[in-house]
Chain A
Amino acid sequence: MNTTAWKTMYWLVKREFWEHRGGFFWAPIVTGGVFLLLNIMGIITAEVVGARHGINFGASGGLQRVIADMDAGDLSKVGFALDVAMYSAMGLLIVVLGFVVFFYCLGALYDDRRDRSILFWKSLPISDASTVLSKVVSATVLAPIVAVFTGIVVGMLQLLILAVTLSFHGVNVWQLLLLAHPFRVMFNLVGYIPLYLLWALPSVGWLLLCSAWARNKPFLWAVALPVATGLLVSWFGIMGLFDLPTIWFWKNIVQRGLFSVFPGTGSVFGHQGDFAVSGTPGMDFMDLGNTYQLLASPNLWIGAVIGLGLLAGAVWFRRWRDDS
């Protein structure tokens, strides 16, 4: 792409951000804020209840001594627990991100046909392929980046809150924080985004296709079509013709097509059988060396190719759908 094309793409994505500021920006921020608030409330409740019952956890410096007595293995477990605390913030954000991306894709090529503003966008010298591409980029790159960075900030704040709480109980804050691996957590989260893009392609493609094609109710079409097909397949036992169990269809077509926009589903559903987790147990399965084993799975690549095909369909419908 030349500079003009890059510039156009930048502004197209910016346009998406303007329109969907609520989903892309405020949803993760508010989720993160609520997550922290709940944690703080939980801690305060625990402190109040503890104080009422005369328990002051670690007041005599006992907790500090416990840590001092820990060997390397125990310390790594503390580090693991802190990493979990950091990832846990991300967990909630990921669910929110999944919903945001799902509904964003369903509306992306439909809403402007419904309110006829497509006639304004189409009066500008922008190709339909660029328009669709900008929606894909917004869904699979922009939205996850915002979510991950929010997750990282929330995770750090979460660590800080834990550390400050513990410091009231005589535990040295900074010593403890050194046991966590915030940079590794960040690296793993940011590094997961390209994998998410590849894995989410068939879902994004399907949802955008429905969005560009449906004359009304794209949600119903996007969900009802695969589910109805699945029911027919189950009813008539069609998968038997291919020597495959019926569940194969549900798992590889319905679930894969609809829910791959939820981050992490690739790591959960993407593998045929077990995959080897290297490193010590704990949160190491989030290490990129482990998550990227998905690249060896044909499921990922077949899905990505099908996703590109669906996107080509979405571009075609965007070009020729004539109903506004």
Chain B
Amino acid sequence: MSAVITASGLSKRYKSALALDNVSFQIEPGRIVGLIGPNGAGKTTALKAILGLTDFDGSLNVLGYDPRKQRDKLMGEVCFIADVAVLPRWIKVRQAVDFVANVHPRFNRAKCEAFLARTKLQPEQRVRQMSKGMIVQLHLALVMAIDARLLILDEPTLGLDILYRKQFYQNLLEDYFDENKTIIVTTHQVEEVEHILTDLMFIRDGRIVLDADMDTVGDRFIEVMVGADKAEATRALKPLDERQVFGKSIFLFDGADRATLEQLGEIRRPSVSDLFVATMKGTYA
């Protein structure tokens, strides 16, 4: 199957800064890709380019369309949730469902109503009367009822409490995702998505600094915990990062020999957030 997104030489310059710097990547169908980077790294710009919301240099193909020229067609097969606060505040649940049902050819009304029935949302309730968590429930119910090939989530759970956050990703996995769909998600709450991701992309200063699937990440990156006596020897192997916990040192290695490390101490798979922190070291300095 051909790629869902193919980007090559993607660049975007705002007045003062380079938001995307000659970025190239490819995303295959049936993946859940985490696009992760510090504030201002270019995540949102990349998503906007994919959605045809902004102009850019380079070439980009999304589901066979050029998002600059064929945006109207593209949006028939792409959904996105920008963040929690973008549903119009005046709209009622009933109106939102009616509207999307009548303008979106791939919307399944029964499905949407089934999702809504699991929430406390009332048909006559307006968005302005809802909590952030309820707004996201409504938005998710609308989006999950659309049979789209690509779903883009930009900080979808920002400002939600843990119950809503967990439920959000659980709904996506159980009721929405399948091998024909692709999800791209950006978030700062890395711990909550790392178990559902199939692919990881780190972006820093407009460049992609890591682009790998989770299995590769597990093979490439190894964390080893060593006592003070072996710390010097480990340091000589040029770790990516080092931190101290309870008098022991934890070293993070990229592509080191597993057998060698096993002799130095206890090895384990690093969490995505530790990997992220190590990779992005010095970003704000």
A interface residues, Cβ below 8 angstroms from B: 4, 7-8, 10-12, 14-15, 18-19, 112, 115-127, 319-320, 322
Contact = CB atoms under 8 A, between A and B. Distances in A.
A125 B85 contact: no
Contacts of B105: 4, 125
Interface in B69-120: 71-73, 75-76, 78-82, 85-91, 95, 98-100, 102-105
Given A115-B89, A120-B82, A322-B54, A126 B72 contact: yes
Contacts of B79: 123
Nearest to B54: A322
A242 B95 CA distance: 54
Nearest to B91: A18
**Contact residues of B: prevailing secondary structure:** mixed
Contacts of B85: 115-116
A116 B82 contact: yes
B95 A18 contact: yes
Contact of A124 (B75, B87, B89, B90): B75
A12 B86 contact: no
Given A115-B85, A116-B82, A116-B86, 6 more contacts: A10-B102, A117-B87, A120-B139, A124-B100, A125-B73, A322-B48
Interface residues of B, number: 31
A125 B75 contact: yes
Interface in B170-193: none
Given A8-B102, A11-B99, A125-B104, A120 B88 contact: yes
Interface of B: 48, 51, 53-55, 71-73, 75-76, 78-82, 85-91, 95, 98-100, 102-105, 139
Contact of B72 (A118, A121, A125): A125
Contacts of B103: 7-8, 11-12, 124-126
A117 B99 contact: no
Residue of A119, A121, A126, A127 contacting most chain B CB atoms (<10 Å):
A119
A217 B107 CA distance: 36
Given A126-B72, A320-B55, A322-B53, A120 B99 contact: no
A14 B55 CA distance: 31
7 contacts: A4-B105, A115-B88, A116-B85, A117-B88, A117-B89, A123-B75, A319-B71
Contacts of B91: 18-19
A121 B100 CA distance: 10
Contacts of B55: 320, 322
B53 A127 contact: no
A120 B72 contact: no
B46 to A, nearest CB: 13
A120 B75 contact: no
A122 B53 contact: yes
Contacts of B78: 123
A173 B198 CA distance: 82
Nearest to A118: B86
Nearest to B95: A18
Contacts of B71: 319
A17 to B, nearest CB: 10
Nearest to A126: B103
A121 B51 CA distance: 13
A56 B57 CA distance: 85
A7 B102 contact: yes
Contacts of B102: 7-8, 10-11
A205 to B, nearest CB: 22
A126 B76 CA distance: 9
A10 B101 CA distance: 13
Contacts of A11: 98-99, 102-103
Contacts of A322: 48, 53-55
A322 B105 CA distance: 27
A320 B69 CA distance: 11
A132 to B, nearest CB: 13
A125 B75 CA distance: 5
Contacts of B51: 122-123
B123 to A, nearest CB: 14
A124 B81 CA distance: 11
A121 B90 CA distance: 13
Nearest to B78: A123
A167 B216 CA distance: 93
Contacts of B139: 120
Contacts of A123: 51, 75, 78-82
B86 A119 contact: yes
A112 B91 CA distance: 12
A18 B102 CA distance: 15
Given A18-B95, A126-B103, A119 B72 contact: no
Nearest to B100: A124
A117 B86 contact: yes
B75 A19 contact: no
